Chain A
Amino acid sequence: MHSACATLEIRDEADAVDAICAAHAKGVSCAIVGGGSKSGLGRYAPQAQALSTAALTGVTLYEPNELVLSARAATPLSEIEALLDQHGQQLAFEPMDCGRLFGAEEGGATIGGVIAVNASGPRRIKAGAARDHLLGFRCVTGRGELVKSGGRVMKNVTGYDLSKLVCGSYGTLALLTELTLKVLPKPQTECTLLAIGADEAESLALLRRATATPCEPSSLAMLPAGAALALDADAAAIRLEGPAISVMARRDDLVGRLTSDGVRFETLDEYDSKALWRGLRDAAPVAAAVGQIWRISVAPSEGFAVVERVRRAGAPVIAYFYDWAGGLIWLCLETSPDAYAAVVRSAVDAGGGHATLIRASAEARARVDVFHPQPAALAALTRRVKESFDPAHILERGRMRAEF
């Protein structure tokens, strides 16, 4: 995916300041590359040079009792997860691994990349997204200035919350150098309740009913027949996590509350449950399909209608599934030069939300708006926010929006 361009190795923050000041002075556009596992995300926008942060590695602080961890930006996610695991902790937002999606090796993600794309998995609906777990950071802005924000404590309202802003900014505001994250205990165990036999719309309604119970499901997905688990019928999957005694009690309670005609229940034990959600986290049911992939965020009750509208408008659906109780749709469509962008977006706009083109060729990602178009006033504000960090548009130029 990378076009040939000069690569500058960034060894420390001083290097980053020098490189970006120089680029700023000359208006040279820069890609920011950590592990490179997410280079297929965003608009196709080749840059004049690449800033490799690969040397910025290492966990700089980990205090399990304080639920806090700091690491340099290119620290492999796998290293952080392994360290947390030793202490029975985790990143609760469950960041996805893009390997399967792009046919690359798994385990290539860095913590900086996770934050840059606000990667969040099935547990997002209960535990929050990456943006809810970033407590503070250090970065070098597009002006070449070393800036810090936030802190290492859980509760902090001192100054603007720039942590939220850099999450999901795709490197367009600043080069992240070090991140401080809230970490949480791993649940003791988990299981997944499968409700099989209802049709798609009923299964989604069942998931929404489950979110209105006190059973505290941590993930809720609707799997069309054949999408996963070699099931030949539509299924609703509900993950329950916590102490063993509580998980079993909540499963039984949930079965009682969701029982209806024609629906049978199965339970996946911890091992199978983990495997299922790991797969869904990484979009496995659509990743294996050949086609262009959209990731769509809508109100949970709108999910089914969005897919229906896409179908009715004639876009050929190859594979799909719903996460977040219907609020997240992973949709694989037959490849087309325009990725059916107009169809997908008008299906979403009818009820509110946004659609992101996640996997498509460079040509398609150059032609189509990868991120959902914004109304004029919001687009203008977005551009002013960008320019407050990077007035010369040198960082990841064009990666999010064509105009910057």
Chain B
Amino acid sequence: MTLLMPRPEPAIMSRRNELIARLGAILPRESLIVDEVARRAYECDAFTMYRALPLVVTLPESVEQVRAIMALAADMNVKLVPRGAGTSLSGGSMPLEDGILLGMSKFNRILEIDYENRCARVQPGVQNLAISKAVEAQGFYYAPDPSSQIACSIGGNVAENAGGVHCLKYGLTTNNILGLDVVLMGGEFIRLGGKHLDSEGYDLIGLMTGSEGLLGVVTEVTVRLLQKPPIARGLLLGFASVAAGARCVSAIIARGVIPAGLEMMDKATIHAVERFQPCGYPLDAAALVIVELDGTQAEVDHLVAVVQDIAREEGATTIRASTSEAERLQFWAGRKNAFPAVSCIAPDYLCMDGTIPRARLPEALAGMDRLAKEQGLGVANVFHAGDGNLHPLILYDASKEGDIERAEKLGFDILRLCVSLGGVLTGEHGVGVEKRDLMGEMFTDVDLAQQMRLKCAFDPAGRLNPGKVFPTLHRCAELGMMHVSGGKMPFSDLPRF
């Protein structure tokens, strides 16, 4: 295990009984999980490489209970880790051995659907897809659609600023929420936004979104609802090289077309998918591009013709346009199965999440190939091509001596490569614990100190989800007084955890 977390504090561990007794006064018996076997169910989220047994698990069902738990945590100076559906791919809700795990799964009600103002008020534990299901009969949907949407919760989506395949056109979570109710460490309740647009002061909704559970606990979300486009059509484009596929993607956007979805996969993934569940992808292609266009019939037909022309100009070896809804879904079937398909060609895989400027894609893939060879591992690539978000899947075998370490090293090297090409460490999965120690690749100590000062504005004692996102822990008083010299903070040589 190469990940270091803050050491469990004996002063907290020794007061566990007192903590449980006081939590018992806040929560009914069934909302408090003390037993070790039951706590094991919460020892990790979807980032399963690292696990920790939480000190105690709480499952509140009212805002009052959340406030009381957070007030108690502050009073006893105990750490607290919020958790939604536990689908984080970066360990954002990985528990702490000396921390309370605050599970929000009982906040599972849709409180109000307001069609007139095209929004819905929902509790944070509501599944992402459940919102769209609730409003589909009226022709509406909630736009962000992360691939975990049948399981992930809207509160977790806010914490991670979740994206999905449609975010090039419809935006991420941050572009689709209007209001948040938040409880701060200590139990203070704050309402941000509502059914109106934009903020009366600092955009704290924007700051909260993607803050990975380090600033506050969300107890209610007001989401925007969009009208479903009347029709969507898909195109399947095959290319003889990744560079040709990337050029086609650029050409589509250069022509002024913003598709609802614009995905790409490499040869390794195409073959894995076809072996898993054949869906007619061209096996001779080195790169496959899937384009989805939505809108009114006239517009979509027009744009399909435009994209077909572009694909021809860019030398596509396969060009297919869907003529039925069934065919469109078939085009997507392979893409949607990409992760399970890849898990059939290797015992284990590690899913990375860098973003790069799209034009650098050929360089990125060539670099990745070289790095993978160095480690003797394989990589399959799926790629949100429209917005430059790469998901390299590193293939390894956990039962093989040294493979985990090699996979982790390769993952880090790939993310460093993304940053060196002008990209970023994570496009949609979050930093969590997974990419925490790489933050210095993108940010200076000064940049990180400013972000940590913001955390201090919300959580001065540093007790909410510590050990995530930032590679070093500091007391807020120290951050407040520190000053820069030559771009380095005075603590730059402090050990990391």
CA A401 to CA B200, docked complex, whole Å: 11
Q: In the complex, identify which listed stretch (B15-23, B336-344, B405-413, B449-457) lies at the interface while the others stay far away.
A: B449-457
A158 touches B203 (CB 8 A): no
Task: Answer whether residue A151 sits at the interface, using C-beta atoms and an 8 A cutoff.
Answer: yes
A246 touches B256 (CB 8 A): no
B256 touches A186 (CB 8 A): yes
Cβ contacts B426-456/A at 8 Å (1 or 0 each): 1111110001000100111011111101101
| Inter-chain contacts of B427 with A (CB < 8 A) | 153, 155-157
Cβ contacts A228-266/B at 8 Å (1 or 0 each): 000000000000001101100110010000000000000
B446 touches A249 (CB 8 A): no
A88, A160, A213, A253, most chain B CB atoms within 10 A? A160
Task: Answer whether residue B184 sits at the interface, using C-beta atoms and an 8 A cutoff.
Answer: yes
Task: Answer whether residue B194 sits at the interface, using C-beta atoms and an 8 A cutoff.
Answer: yes
Task: Answer whether residue B50 sits at the interface, using C-beta atoms and an 8 A cutoff.
Answer: no
Cβ contacts B370-408/A at 8 Å (1 or 0 each): 000000000000001011110000000000000000000
Q: In the complex, identify which listed stretch (A50-58, A128-136, A278-286) lies at the interface while the others stay far away.
A: A128-136
| Inter-chain contacts of B161 with A (CB < 8 A) | 157, 161
Closest CB in chain A relative to B179 CB, distance in Å:
9
A327 touches B202 (CB 8 A): no
B356 touches A164 (CB 8 A): no
- The A-contacting residues of B in range 200-251, CB under 8 angstroms, are 200-207, 209-211, 227-230, 250-251
A65 touches B387 (CB 8 A): no
| Inter-chain contacts of B202 with A (CB < 8 A) | 165, 168-169, 173, 382, 385-386
CA A374 to CA B228, docked complex, whole Å: 36
A158 touches B442 (CB 8 A): yes
| Inter-chain contacts of A216 with B (CB < 8 A) | 227, 229, 295-296
Closest CB in chain B relative to A341 CB, distance in Å:
13
Cβ contacts A361-385/B at 8 Å (1 or 0 each): 0000000000110110110011011
Task: Answer whether residue B254 sits at the interface, using C-beta atoms and an 8 A cutoff.
Answer: yes
- The residue from B160, B227, B357, B443 contacting A212, defined by CB atoms under 8 A apart: B227
Cβ contacts B179-202/A at 8 Å (1 or 0 each): 000001000111110111111111
Closest CB in chain A relative to B126 CB, distance in Å:
21
Q: In the complex, identify which listed stretch (B54-62, B114-122, B270-278, B316-324) lies at the interface while the others stay far away.
A: B114-122
| Inter-chain contacts of B426 with A (CB < 8 A) | 156-158
CA A385 to CA B204, docked complex, whole Å: 9
| Inter-chain contacts of B229 with A (CB < 8 A) | 214, 216
CA A146 to CA B167, docked complex, whole Å: 31
A214 touches B227 (CB 8 A): yes
- The residue from B184, B303, B355 contacting A154, defined by CB atoms under 8 A apart: B355
Task: Answer whether residue A38 sits at the interface, using C-beta atoms and an 8 A cutoff.
Answer: no
A354 touches B200 (CB 8 A): yes
Task: Answer whether residue B332 sits at the interface, using C-beta atoms and an 8 A cutoff.
Answer: no
Task: Answer whether residue A400 sits at the interface, using C-beta atoms and an 8 A cutoff.
Answer: yes
Task: Answer whether residue A387 sits at the interface, using C-beta atoms and an 8 A cutoff.
Answer: yes
- The residue from B198, B299, B303, B357 contacting A152, defined by CB atoms under 8 A apart: B357
| Inter-chain contacts of A186 with B (CB < 8 A) | 256
Task: Answer whether residue A7 sits at the interface, using C-beta atoms and an 8 A cutoff.
Answer: no
Q: A124-B197, A151-B423, A377-B188 are in contact. Are A141 and B450 (CB under 8 A)?
A: yes
A388 touches B197 (CB 8 A): no
Q: A245-B298, A246-B302, A385-B454 are in contact. Are A65 and B200 (CB under 8 A)?
A: no
Closest CB in chain B relative to A316 CB, distance in Å:
25
Task: Answer whether residue A148 sits at the interface, using C-beta atoms and an 8 A cutoff.
Answer: yes
Task: Answer whether residue B359 sits at the interface, using C-beta atoms and an 8 A cutoff.
Answer: yes
Please give the residue numbers on chain B whose beta carbons come within 8 Å of chain A beta carbons, in ascending order.
114-119, 139-140, 160-161, 163, 167-168, 171-172, 174-175, 184, 188-192, 194-207, 209-211, 227-230, 250-251, 253-254, 256-258, 295-299, 302-303, 355-359, 384, 386-389, 422-431, 435, 439, 442-444, 446-451, 453-454, 456-458, 469, 480, 483-484, 487
Please give the residue numbers on chain A whose beta carbons come within 8 Å of chain B beta carbons, in ascending order.
63-68, 88, 118, 120, 124-125, 128-129, 131-132, 141, 143-149, 151-165, 167-169, 173, 184-186, 188, 208, 211-216, 242-243, 245-246, 249-250, 253, 297-302, 324, 327-328, 352-354, 356, 371-372, 374-375, 377-378, 381-382, 384-389, 391, 400-401
Q: List 11 A-B contacts (CB under 8 A).
A: A65-B254, A118-B203, A144-B484, A153-B388, A154-B388, A155-B387, A164-B206, A212-B139, A371-B200, A381-B204, A385-B207
